[in-house]
Structure 1
Amino acid sequence: MINFNGTLSENNTILSIQNRGYAYGDALFETIKVVSGKILFWEDHYFRLMASMRILRMEIPMAFTMEFLEAEILKTLGVNSQLKETARVKLQMHRNEGGLYTPTTADVSFIISVKPLTENFYLLNNDFYEVDLFKDYYVSPSLLSTLKTNNKALNIVGSIYAKENNLNNCLLVNTNKHVVEALNGNVFLVKGNTIKTPPLTDGCLKGIMRTQLINIIKTLPEYQLEEDSISPFEIQKADEMFITNVITGIQPVSKYRKKSYDNAVAKLLLQKLNVKIRLG
């Protein structure tokens, strides 16, 4: 069952063809991991969503407090018998119908849907994982590119390219020819004792897991964090590369072209991440 504006329904076809999220991509979403009724990193998800809605000039209802949306998520999990399980929650916000490119309203609606997941905490995936650059189209670095909107044409075409070329993932490049992110997460490089990730000004998604790992890395005296542009040349010189998102956690990359990588730092950070979740 889904939750549409607080009403639980078994009808998965409640949206009309005039829905602005469908017609114009005038929508945002958060992908959230929930373990036994505990919403991981909920505060970060909530404030990112609220900030994104303001950037898109959506009207945020007074009722949309962190407590209200949390309760709606838990209600949806409960009716789907997922409260004591591990689940993937998708919280979508779209501007209400009306207008063409120019909306006739700033009011919004929300939809919450859930799917089961198998792992409670984050596990290191040691399977072979190969990536390459996707250079058919580029990310335009701006505030809009850091938002999690329904405009994901670049990620879709890139994912098809990856499948056609037997790749596990692709790295997206911005118009300045800097590596920005992967198709489904943020990118980190390790070189010696330096851990580097692209800055938001390069156009990467303001990832929730990215934020968690940045905070963890800052507590490790043996490593230095850099938020700076990454060139394709640097990728071939790195000791390690990994991709992050809230569902997988940390995905080590095994190979980029002729370069192979270790995963020692990814393993360390994953342990720290799971400790943080247990204590949080």
Structure 2
Amino acid sequence: MPQQYLLLNDEFHDVEIPVLTASNRGFKFGDGLFESMRMIDNKLQFADLHADRLVGGMKALKIDGHSLMDDYFIRQKTSDLAKKNRWNGNARFRLSVYRQGSGVYTPETNKGSYILEGFALKDAQYQLNNKGLIIDVYDEITKPINKLSNFKTSNALLYVMAGIFKSQNRLDEAMILNQSGFLCESISANVFVVYNNQIYTPALTEGCVSGVMRTAIMQIAKMNDIALIEAQINPEILKEAEEVFITNATQGIQWVMGYGRKRYFNEVSKYLIEKLNHL
């Protein structure tokens, strides 16, 4: 297999060689955030939305250097990494930003650093899963609602615990509730529910991540005169809904087949992913 590289602060490094130390604040304190992105046919998808969320998150965490993290920057760096690794123009990326320096809880500096890594993909478009997902609700730990809730921070223990719950119960995905017991998101995606011929998704005020694909689906719905409502959603609606699907920036749309004894359709999911691939 050809040698593969990642980018650390504009410098290429072999992915097999360690580049961080034990004093790294992202490792010690989860002091950072990240973006998961997808390139299709050499074009980074929704670069402007990723840049907006990244800049907003860096500002919220008071990490310096956010003015440099615009859509031009992430387009350029992902393109450079794809060329260095000789990928075919279809790839998945993770851009991690962390606060430099050591110290304990109080940082010695607010200067930011970044690592860009990724791997090649075969598909040149978003693919709807052939087999629907089986889900359940994870309620042992709930997600707090605060000014950081809408960003993809490096503090991911809630999602790790939900992932363990998923594995132990042989599920494909698990739904996460917010501190008030309402539907928030899944382990790795935003949630959409089709009920009485309308699409609902948890509002950002419910503590969900402000997903890039969530925004894209909302734009597609608006362009096609489809009713889509941001709301506070009781998880009991999962027992009555006609359809449930989840979205994220790398997979696009994934439809849910079952929740307990409940079974769902995927007509809306099929329609939306077709529109997504035509964007």
TM-score range, shorter chain: over 0.9
1:136 aligns with 2:148: no
Give the TM-score normalised by structure 1: 0.95
Match of 1:113 in 2: 117
Q: What CA distance in whole angstroms lies between the structure 2 residues aligned with 1:117 and 1:140?
A: 34
Does the Cα contact within 8 Å between 2:245 and 2:253 map onto a contact in 1? yes
Matched, 1:266 2:266: no
Alignment of 1:203-222 (within 5 A): 203-221=207-225
In 2: Cα distance, 1:68 partner to 1:149 partner: 20
Equivalent-residue separation in structure 2 for 1:128 and 1:190 (angstroms): 15
- What TM-score, normalized by structure 2, do the two folds share? 0.95
Superposition pairs for residues 66-77 of structure 1, below 5 Å? 66-77=71-82
Check 1:124–1:76 CA distance in 2 against 1; reply closer, same or farther (3 A cut).
Answer: same
What is the rounded CA distance, in whole Å, between the counterparts of 1:56 and 1:103 in structure 2? 11
Instruction: Give the secondary structure class of the aligned counterpart of 1:218.
Output: helix
Q: Show the counterpart of 1:96.
A: 100
CA shift, 1:117, in A, is 1.5
Where does structure 2 lack aligned partners over 5 or more consecutive residues?
A: none
Q: Which amino acid aligns with 2:265?
A: D
Q: 2-side partners of 1:49 and 1:170: how far apart?
A: 25
Q: Give the deviation of 1:36 after TM superposition.
A: 2.6
Matches of 2:52 and 2:67 in 1, distance apart?
A: 14
Judge conservation of contact 1:135–1:172 (CA < 8 Å) in 2. Answer: yes
CA distance in 1, matches of 2:233, 2:67: 41
Q: How many residues align?
A: 274
Residues 171 and 180 in structure 1, CA contact (< 8 A), matched pair in contact too: yes
| Paired position in structure 1 for 2:86 | 81
Contact 2:255 2:269 in 1 (8 A): yes
Check whether the contact 1:143–1:201 (CA below 8 A) recurs between aligned residues. no
* Whole-angstrom CA distance in 1 between matches of 2:160 and 2:71: 31
RMSD: 1.2
Please state whether the residue corresponding to 1:44 is helix, strand or coil: helix
The answer to whether the Cα contact below 8 Å between 2:48 and 2:70 also exists between their aligned partners in 1 is: no
Contact 1:142 1:202 survives alignment (8 Å)? no
Q: Which of 7, 13, 16 is matched with 1:9 structurally?
A: 13
- Alignment identity in percent? 32
CA distance in 2, matches of 1:14, 1:96: 13
Q: CA deviation at 1:62?
A: 5.0
Trace 1:160-175 onto structure 2 (pairs within 5 A). 160-175=164-179
Q: Which amino acid aligns with 1:216?
A: I
Q: CA deviation at 1:129?
A: 1.4
